[in-house]
Structure 1
């Protein structure tokens, strides 16, 4: 009886460990790239349908969002819609549509020129808002605006950054340099 309990206890402890190893992160750049290439071809990731382009994303959002909530979203200004929904709908989009690990939708957005997952979510929220309001999506100017904001944000971080530690490598002189 003790052996049975011991085996059950050990099995309970090793179960999560064995399943955790199933989705281990990539160890090399080549391994990551191979996994990325597989992910961008998949129609579903972890049981969630991944839209293939903006039109498909709008269709999926229309299915997911109830009509009265869609109407409230539609009545907001574009800026307000972007800011209000980023930490709810935006985070849902990033996580469920696989923007960090790569998906066919994130790959589509990368080809448009939107590279950061947060920018991808903002792009979808803004274009979805424009689509609901029957406005032109104006993809190219929106992509340029997002790229410019990302660049400014990076420059601000660098400007205000503090160097924690700096090293200078001293190279040994070669035979030619010694003479």
Structure 2
């Protein structure tokens, strides 16, 4: 037996001890997609949470051994060991919030889910770009039949999947999610899905989007609609007729702004506009700044380096995601968001902070992973309500002497920086009540 076999068995056993405390109480079918634990085992909520859990499972010796392998070796050998443990215990087969997270991204097979987790964790350990969207696209391409130009997926509230509309119509009242991929028009039977909550329109390059929105707007139960990789250059005024939705995601288009009718979406609490590199920010924000109930805004992967002051009109904004842009500092408009609680600048070019007392008064969590810091930014002490700082994969080699001023911090993640053991030990003594991930 080779070393791969022994290590994978050990990796599996190193987490199996957690599973021995299983509860005999079955989780109700509808609840398991929202609960944070199943049968006594914590279920990660997303990919980053998977990283946190695996980091806790494996010690440095195991992680170093994993890093000594190639990506292909690790994923192939872990598939039937730790990969099987994840599929069985994290509900990737039976249903869980982690399964729902992947389903929302168009990944439905448990093997694909565990494969993405393993690949991404390996790249996380090595400090490489995770390229989640590229991974997802490769799995979607694999499942597409060569002679098919479109695909349909419908999901019931209990997680059952249907891949043709006729079968889905047989249980139309139970369908809560539908994906239309590669369609030229929305089927007229869409009106039969009276309890639909989510619709995804993806890679529908030839679709008449105005007519599609007209059909969808009659679905009173609809809460969330996404448009992925359709190549649209603009959206029609009829987008404003979707007044029932509370979440909108637009990605992979060539749009410059949104139609003025967007202000009619009074129920909208979450807006995601990603991978749209041609955005004209002043025009765009003149529209979305009037969405008074907006709580979450994601503008990742748009090549942004600044944001206009009209952002400050979003006074109810709680979360702001700005991943994979080109920011070198925090814009003044962002610092003025007095009710913001979570701020994420994952993978930008920031090397210092310009935060002063009075900025970001309500901020509780900040993510600055994959940036350019070489010294820990003590300006964070100006954020009186800050509870969580995540800064893995920077170049931090030095900690300030007065870092103990962060005594109210509940979590500090500085993994994969350049701190030596002496600095890590000092940090542990200075912040004894903080959960440190070093």
Q: TM-score, normalised by structure 2?
A: 0.27
Determine if the alignment matches structure 1 residue 146 to structure 2 residue 158.
Answer: no
Instruction: Return the structure number with greater helix share.
Output: 1
Report the Cα offset of residue 78 of structure 1: 1.3
Determine if the alignment matches structure 1 residue 67 to structure 2 residue 91.
Answer: no
1:1-179 correspondence runs (5 A): 35=29, 37-151=30-144
Report the Cα offset of residue 138 of structure 1: 0.5
Structure 1: how far apart are the matches of 2:36 and 2:61?
29
Call closer, same or farther: CA 1:151–1:90 in 2, change over 3 Å.
farther
Report the Cα offset of residue 144 of structure 1: 1.0
Unaligned runs of 5+ in 2: 1-23, 149-438
Per-residue CA deviation, residues 47-105 of structure 1 (Å, 9 max, x unaligned), is 00001111111000011112111111122111111101100010000011011111111
Report the Cα offset of residue 126 of structure 1: 0.3
Structure 1: how far apart are the matches of 2:78 and 2:140?
20
Unaligned runs of 5+ in 1: 1-19, 24-33, 156-179
Structure 1: how far apart are the matches of 2:68 and 2:105?
27
Call closer, same or farther: CA 1:82–1:150 in 2, change over 3 Å.
farther
The Cα RMSD (Å) is 2.2
Structure 1: how far apart are the matches of 2:83 and 2:115?
7
Report the Cα offset of residue 149 of structure 1: 2.8
Tell me which moved more, 84-93 or 110-119.
110-119
| 1:41 aligned counterpart, secondary structure | coil
Report the Cα offset of residue 151 of structure 1: 4.0
Q: Greater relative contact order: 1 or 2 (C-alpha under 8 angstroms, separation 6 or more)?
A: 1
Provide runs of 4+ in structure 1 moved above 4 Å. Answer: none
Structure 2: how far apart are the matches of 1:67 and 1:54?
20
Structure 1: how far apart are the matches of 2:143 and 2:70?
22
Q: TM-score, normalised by structure 1?
A: 0.63
Structure 1: how far apart are the matches of 2:107 and 2:74?
19
Aligned length in residues: 123
